[in-house]
Structure 1
């Protein structure tokens, strides 16, 4: 929460929270725009709390980001208490320290991306699973399944990837096989229903009585969850004839070693080798098998998933913070209490070597810090050996020094991240705020938001244009806004200098709205978001939804809106800065062609827009 007012927000997701705070209907469906025309591109679970915060405290960057920061704090505490319950205070404290210093987790927790609530739900699942696997009772495995269902409301199918680890681990608990199968069947059924209730309810409501389901071809919540956000993410191409999809291009190509590539290594890889070693240590030292299997399969399944998905944001990997933290904390705490030397030395050594190797990707401060960590690790190893021969050795001090030797470099990366917020694609290690694909800035780490060296072909830095907006909203843009999953790209409202969200432009819209239902119509939701924020929830019609590909409204519906006086002004693609306006669905193209023929261009405080008044 340090200096949270300097954090950076995604305008797209901020506009959703503002719109959802406007009415119970918007809140339930996750409407993107205040009028409830179209929903966001996922189940709205991650936005219910931010929407409540906006409803109570009003809109500001601090209010929008605060729920994520609180969720991160809750995650760290849950991980620490889970580690303590599973074994010891030492295990809990080290586990909590690892979670609190996972750089990509810190980066995303200082934004309004929905990932942080998903990680919180994973921590809740781990806490309940610790009970279910050590004192197996039906109520605890059911509660674990309910927390997985809660995670499903925040990040959909990715949550179910935890069930294989939990289910197999539960079979290792000490109780009759028939009881274990019965417990899993009951918990799984309840978890399935609790996961799908929102989809079922929305699918039963007539389309005319709810917003259009965003990022779908058929206005169907099942397609949105299992197509666009499911199968589409593992497709090798960005589009499919069966469903709309988008594969964020921020984490390199899918491969076995993806988590250690240049884009991801500095975000999550610092303790991954130590976590794998920890599973081996827990198994060899005969830690309860059920817990060891649970953590091991969790790491394996999520690691395989992130390695295989066609494209993703770096911050997706924040989900690994929980199993990595618990594995390392439990392994070190176990070896410490039992007085087994080799696991302690191995964990500290592997963490230090990993830090040095990863730092080669990022010349600068990270190299210096990683070598300091390596020197500390050498000192800790000497102390670990010495304390075995000296009875009065300060064991607590050695444990604290070992913790530093485990997390020093990721701690520094996390701290630097606080000073370099990124709204569109939160990443760790000193990355500047970057408004678009073409403007991936560089920071202290000398890396851009894709993790590539500055000046390389994939990450040329561009100068963002800043458009001042009332209420502190910044209309950023450095070229065309790109349509992307999770608000990844194109959060800016327009190119530098267009004034598309300037105070004068917003004032023009408000003064000339008259009896129209909408202040203005835009092609795609990205251009609409900053106007919604600048007007504190003013109604904007996002033609084509998130990236302009949704068939909402239809051409006939749009013409009827114009004839009825519900829509008067339409932002052109150049004013909106939205690529979606020129590459969107055929419906969006039809509407744009009709506007160009039937509406007149007018000057709106220096911005050229279309006036469709009769």
Structure 2
């Protein structure tokens, strides 16, 4: 039943959902040949890769290869990954303690709003959560059985998760190591086994990076979002140190990237206006859950593992300079385990105070967050509080194990724990978002707002001028499916979507050129790749037009050799001069303005002919 409910919420009607054109084009390009598949090529010709290790896109690419390209082919795999993660966490909790633990843990996973929201898009998050769930399952086996083999397996699942979200996967190792060192066996044995498993995990993690690094640059795509075409730089610079802000980034060594969607970093960041409704509902309850496990003397190894994992991830998401809200979906796994195991252990020990405390904290959290957002949230939160009070009353009335009252109490408690976040998850089904998936019907793009509950949702713009989110039927501002500000170009883009008639003309006049057309930035190039059914498009500058690919000399060579003739640049006016610090993309833009002519047959479309 848990799997059916999760599948419905995460997967129903995704075929009419909202996709990210950028990520959809990657899945399409990767499906065309095995070289693109391995490297994670953004474009069909294998010019430049996406800005991360492509593990999250391997399954969607296989779906496209088998079933053909469609919205559901690139979104449904993510929904299925979320369902699988939910079931694996439920099974893990059940094996660790009892069916009640599995029920509660699965319910927390299935009702984590941001997990459901991102699973209904083609953003690369759901497979990371699945990797974490598999890691939790193997870790539980390792800690229960004090098994070196299962510890190594857990490390390999960490490495698998690394292929989907890189360094964030390693944040689970402190918890795994601490938990294993708490198992009852000789200390030196635990130490060397942990060290060996860690080395195996490290080696497996960096395997893709090593293989790509040893392949000559001329025989592979340019590594996206790097300054030096270096996979190590992409993983540890751009996607590592670069995520903690420009103050810590060496601009000459790597590029920084800090998404401005979750407010300012800080201790209470996860309770601010942009993030609280997405993930914070169960955070206080999960923290209490770890305390309950410790007080009720549950397995020390498991308690330490879950507790350190939860604290590590809470600290990580609070400290990173900028992030999308959906990054926090990874918190669902340790939170679900903490809440599920704690409540089940309290029932096993017949500790009414612990059960009542868990239900009460969940209800109070729902009331506080619901009151902040208003609308349907406060109504559902009040209902949750009433159900919680009823569940606590039934707890007091329980007399014997296995009674019908005891079964109904457990079911009612599960509902009383997750009702309000579950409502946000259900509402998300009607509000698909591709650029920045968020739950509960809030506005698609939500910036700023570092202070917890610093301003009422919907009470005007943020410091950056973007709309704040409110949980209501119709999001304020742009629709959930809207593209990034600036039209189809998005970051680094150069204008609106190319017309179908222009695409037809380009295909008719392409001749023997390798590329159908060139476009500035991967965002606008992605729309052409998709609209043309997977034709080769040159994405000048990569993801955000900042990559030195191609260089001006390489671009001119492509034109001279006949590999490229046409350029799509609807905003070319004023690009005839460049500064001494201009990027390759800016240099090419100026060269096109000076040396290419607008196609007469497509007047006003922004398509230029650069043939010699």
TM-score (norm 1): 0.90
What is the CA distance between 1:463 and its match in structure 2? 5.2
What is the CA distance between 1:584 and its match in structure 2? 10
Partners of 1:427 and 1:10 lie apart in 2 by 14
User: Is the aligned partner of 1:608 residue 2:598?
Assistant: no
Match in the other structure for 2:346: 335
Q: 1:10 to 1:605 in 2, by over 3 A?
A: farther
Long gaps (5+) in structure 2 = 1-10, 468-475
Q: Is the 8 A contact 1:348 1:405 kept in 2?
A: yes
Q: Deviations over 1:124-170 (max 9, x none)?
A: 00000001011111110000000000000000000001000100110
Match in the other structure for 1:174: 184
Match of 2:360 among 333, 346, 349: 349
1:554-565 aligned within 5 A: 554-565=551-562
Q: 1:569 to 1:96 in 2, by over 3 A?
A: same
Match in the other structure for 2:5: none
User: Is the aligned partner of 1:307 residue 2:280?
Assistant: no
What is the CA distance between 1:515 and its match in structure 2? 1.7
Match in the other structure for 1:234: 244
- Aligned-partner SS, 2:373: coil
Partners of 2:288 and 2:551 lie apart in 1 by 56
- Aligned-partner SS, 1:162: helix
Partners of 1:134 and 1:475 lie apart in 2 by 48
1:136-285 aligned within 5 A: 136-236=146-246, 240-285=251-296
What is the CA distance between 1:352 and its match in structure 2? 0.5
Match in the other structure for 2:38: 28
Partners of 2:135 and 2:254 lie apart in 1 by 31
What is the CA distance between 1:242 and its match in structure 2? 2.1
What is the CA distance between 1:378 and its match in structure 2? 1.1
Q: Is the 8 A contact 2:435 2:483 kept in 1?
A: no
1:576-587 aligned within 5 A: 586-587=583-584
Partners of 1:605 and 1:535 lie apart in 2 by 20
What is the CA distance between 1:182 and its match in structure 2? 1.5
Match in the other structure for 1:425: 436
Q: Is the 8 A contact 2:278 2:325 kept in 1?
A: yes
Q: Is the 8 A contact 1:258 1:307 kept in 2?
A: yes
- Aligned-partner SS, 1:360: helix
What is the CA distance between 1:6 and its match in structure 2? 2.2
Q: Deviations over 1:3-29 (max 9, x none)?
A: 121221111000001001111111111
Q: 1:55 to 1:120 in 2, by over 3 A?
A: same
Match in the other structure for 2:371: 360
Match in the other structure for 2:466: 459
Partners of 1:413 and 1:198 lie apart in 2 by 38
Q: Is the 8 A contact 2:92 2:137 kept in 1?
A: yes
1:588-603 aligned within 5 A: 588-602=585-599
TM-score (norm 2): 0.91
Match of 2:537 among 536, 540, 553: 540
Match in the other structure for 1:503: 500
Q: 1:610 to 1:107 in 2, by over 3 A?
A: same
Match in the other structure for 2:410: 399
Match of 2:395 among 368, 384, 390: 384
User: Is the aligned partner of 1:56 residue 2:56?
Assistant: no
Q: Deviations over 1:79-138 (max 9, x none)?
A: 010000000000011100110110000011111111110000000000000010111111
Partners of 1:494 and 1:397 lie apart in 2 by 59
Q: Deviations over 1:406-425 (max 9, x none)?
A: 00001100000011001000
Q: Is the 8 A contact 2:227 2:255 kept in 1?
A: yes
Q: 1:356 to 1:160 in 2, by over 3 A?
A: same
User: Is the aligned partner of 1:524 residue 2:524?
Assistant: no
- Aligned-partner SS, 1:570: strand
Q: 1:582 to 1:533 in 2, by over 3 A?
A: farther
Match in the other structure for 1:470: none
Q: 1:294 to 1:378 in 2, by over 3 A?
A: same
Partners of 1:511 and 1:144 lie apart in 2 by 53
Q: Deviations over 1:467-491 (max 9, x none)?
A: xxxxxxx9956535676xxxxx68x
Partners of 1:243 and 1:382 lie apart in 2 by 58
Q: Deviations over 1:294-320 (max 9, x none)?
A: 000001111101000000000000000
What is the CA distance between 1:503 and its match in structure 2? 1.9
RMSD (CA atoms): 2.6
Match in the other structure for 1:127: 137
Q: 1:384 to 1:216 in 2, by over 3 A?
A: same
Match in the other structure for 1:7: 17
Match in the other structure for 2:473: none
Partners of 1:605 and 1:76 lie apart in 2 by 53
Q: 1:605 to 1:78 in 2, by over 3 A?
A: farther
- Aligned-partner SS, 1:522: strand
Match in the other structure for 2:87: 77
What is the CA distance between 1:360 and its match in structure 2? 2.6
What is the CA distance between 1:609 and its match in structure 2? 2.0
Long gaps (5+) in structure 1 = 441-446, 467-473, 484-488
Partners of 2:300 and 2:487 lie apart in 1 by 53
Match in the other structure for 1:553: 550
What is the CA distance between 1:241 and its match in structure 2? 2.9
Partners of 1:582 and 1:93 lie apart in 2 by 62
Q: 1:72 to 1:584 in 2, by over 3 A?
A: farther
1:363-374 aligned within 5 A: 363-374=374-385
